[in-house]
Amino acid sequence: MGFVSTFLGILGFGIGLPIGLLLGFFFFVYSKPNKQLEDPIIKPLHDLDSDALLNLLPEIPLWVKNPDYDRVDWLNKFLLNLWPCLEKAISGTIRRIAEPIFSEYSEKYPVEVIEFKNLNLGSFPPVIHGMKVFETNERELVMEPAIRWAGNPNIILVIKLMCLRITVQLVDLQIFVQPRIALKPLVPTFPCFSNIVVSVMEKPHVDFGMKILGGDIMSIPGLYRFVQEAIKKQVASLYLWPQTLEIPILDALTVEMKPVGILHVKVVRALKLLKMDILGTSDPYVKLILTADKLPAKKTTIKKRNLNPEWNEKFKFVVKDPQSQVLKVQVFDWDKVGAHDRLGMQLVPLKLLTQSETKEFTLDLLKDTNISNPQDQKKRGQIVVELTYVPFMQDSCKFDVPVDGYGRKESGIDRSSDDGNLSGSGLLSVMVHGAEDVEGEHHTNPYAFILFRGERKKTKRLRKIRHPLWEEEFEFMLEEPPLNDKIYIEVMSKRRRFSFRSKESLGHVVINLTDVVYNGRINEKYHLIDSKNGVVHVEIGWKTV
């Protein structure tokens, strides 16, 4: 009898415990307080005691406590009037970002569908309690708003798990965050900046209620604090400064800056380089890279077994923004097998240069420029370079109006008066805009092929299109004007896979560059030779220094 009673007691405890916890959970979650909320007592600040003022201090706007922050009531009014439209736009963006993420979860886990049943950010916009604006030497606008949002969103997420349909609702959202927003780089194209870069200066405060199957699970003791800390850690790991979230605004082709000059670089010599070879020497060479330049790096010759090499080699780079571009100088030890060892590097901002004035730099080589790591104390030697930035002449582009119709026309400018501008080095730029009515006999996957002075360049290949639009620019640095030169442009078609007729010519044109030199620029459409109706749109410019 004792055994039976013991067994029944254990069985009753095992069944009653989960049932009791389940009933207690539902009573706790779904119960509502009977006590009516009373209206708060409002007092002026001078009537409050010290304890009340300390509790109220976090709610005081930053523009009151900190003179660096500006009051932006006008911006809050602007957000309030714009919020009905802005809310729909933000909701649409959230849907577009979340849908691919939901699809990944559906593929990884046994979840049929994750979707928004409702996504509404409510009628209350965020409130900016103050804004600080920074002045920097870079081409950017940096600001730090203090944002508080106590909204009334209605966000309902539906999760279909096997035979279950679970609804998750987010309510009573409150966010206190202080982000750093940088609009950069500033460009002469509306809206005058190409990217929005956002980072969070401190861990944000996020408060919300979450209802699952109609019950607010955030009221469970301990869960609220756990979710708070999890959100703070997740946001901090992604966007806490110096980590950033970059939002592109303008396409890279739209904001791409035009060439403004030429940088002449002379690599003179290096002194006391590191010994990397077994015999106590190195085989150094120099690699030069100009930031924001898509062309391959330029390299000097290799000096075998020499720790104090002399090169005296000259190079040229096209400069598009002398205020932000930087020349990266790297010295490598050449190895016949394996990767080449980097002996050291250094950076030279172009803003240190004076126009048309040669400046010599003796640079101490560093291991790297990563400020987050301690600098290597080992001496790596020095490198001597001479830099000269020469801007293009302001009057080098005289003809800036596209010619109507097809075919090249003489400009009618008196060339005898411009002979003074026809000497010296310069930059020949070739912009291939696109083509019209090109059609191949076997396939039409067009790309443009450019041949000038033995140098070959080509655009990207587009598939199955008779009116391709490339908008690609190519540059040629020349020591003298191309007065008697011609440029060959051919529209080709190529299949992706190799076959007997993988390539096919869709027409070509030969352009005399004499008019380009005298006029500065031509922008025309040319009939393609060996094509029935094909036309190619080309813009060619010549700038002298």
* pLDDT tens-place string over residues 150-177: 878 888 888 887 777 788 887 777 888 8
- Work out the average pLDDT over 520-539: 92
Does the structure show a pLDDT above 70 at 498? no
Which is higher by pLDDT, 440 or 22? 440
Q: What is the pLDDT of residues 314-342, one digit of tens each?
A: 999 989 888 888 999 999 998 877 788 88
Tokens encoding 228: 């708070």
How far is 64 from 72, CA to CA, in rounded Å?
12
Mean pLDDT of the chain: 79
DSSP state of 354: P
Give the pLDDT score at 414. 45
| Alpha carbons within 13 A on the beta-carbon side of 490 | 14
Does the structure show a pLDDT above 60 at 96? yes
Give the pLDDT score at 235. 65
Contact partners, residue 416, CB within 8 Å, separation at least 6: none
- If you count them, how many residues does the chain have? 545
Tokens encoding 404: 């109507």
How far is 105 from 103, CA to CA, in rounded Å?
5
Q: What is the pLDDT of residues 386-440, one digit of tens each?
A: 999 999 876 544 434 444 444 444 444 444 444 444 557 888 999 999 999 999 8
User: Per-residue DSSP letters for 302-351?
Assistant: --TT-SS-EEEEEEEEEES-TTT-EEEEEEEE--SSSPPEEEEEEEEEGG
Which is higher by pLDDT, 43 or 507? 507
| Share above pLDDT 90 across residues of the chain, in percent, rounded to a whole number | 23
How far is 39 from 145, CA to CA, in rounded Å?
32
Cβ-count burial 12-37 (b if 16+ within 10 Å, e if not): eeeeeeeeeeeeeeeeebeeeeeeee
Q: Domains in the chain, ordered, with CATH?
A: 49-248 (no CATH), 261-369+378-391 (2.60.40.150), 426-544 (2.60.40.150)
Residue 158's identity, in one-letter code, is: V
Report in angstroms the alpha-carbon separations of 18 from 5, 120, 221, 256, 442: 21, 37, 18, 65, 74
Q: What is the pLDDT of residues 123-147, one digit of tens each?
A: 888 888 888 888 776 678 888 888 8
Q: What is the pLDDT of residues 368-385, one digit of tens each?
A: 765 444 555 577 899 999
Give the pLDDT score at 425. 80
Q: What is the pLDDT of residues 245-261, one digit of tens each?
A: 787 777 655 556 678 88
Q: Tell whether pTM > 0.85.
A: no
- Whether the Cβ atoms of residue 303 and residue 309 lie closer than 8 Å to each other: yes
Report in angstroms the alpha-carbon separations of 174 from 124, 150, 223: 11, 4, 17
User: 175 forms bridges with which residues in the sheet?
Assistant: 149, 206
Residue 278's identity, in one-letter code, is: I
Question: Which range has the top average pLDDT, 103-117, 201-215, 518-532?
Answer: 518-532
* Residue 114 main-chain phi, psi, to 5 deg: -125, 120
The H-or-E segment that residue 90 falls in is helix 73-108
Report in angstroms the alpha-carbon separations of 531 from 40, 354, 494: 83, 50, 16
Q: What is the pLDDT of residues 261-304, one digit of tens each?
A: 899 999 999 998 988 777 778 899 999 999 877 778 899 999 99
Tokens encoding 322: 């002398």
Q: What is the pLDDT of residues 49-93, one digit of tens each?
A: 666 656 665 666 665 666 677 788 888 888 889 888 888 888 888
User: 267 forms bridges with which residues in the sheet?
Assistant: 313, 385
Of 92-96, 416-420, 452-456, the one with minimum mean pLDDT is: 416-420
Give the pLDDT score at 412. 43
Tokens encoding 342: 């980097």
User: Per-residue DSSP letters for 500-528?
Assistant: TT-EEEEEEEEEE-HHHHHHSEEEEEEEP
Report in angstroms the alpha-carbon separations of 132 from 72, 129, 137: 10, 11, 17
How far is 76 from 18, CA to CA, in rounded Å?
51
DSSP state of 249: -
- Whether the Cβ atoms of residue 492 and residue 468 lie closer than 8 Å to each other: no
| Share above pLDDT 70 across residues of the chain, in percent, rounded to a whole number | 72
How far is 238 from 235, CA to CA, in rounded Å?
5
- Whether the Cβ atoms of residue 309 and residue 286 lie closer than 8 Å to each other: no
Give the pLDDT score at 396. 45
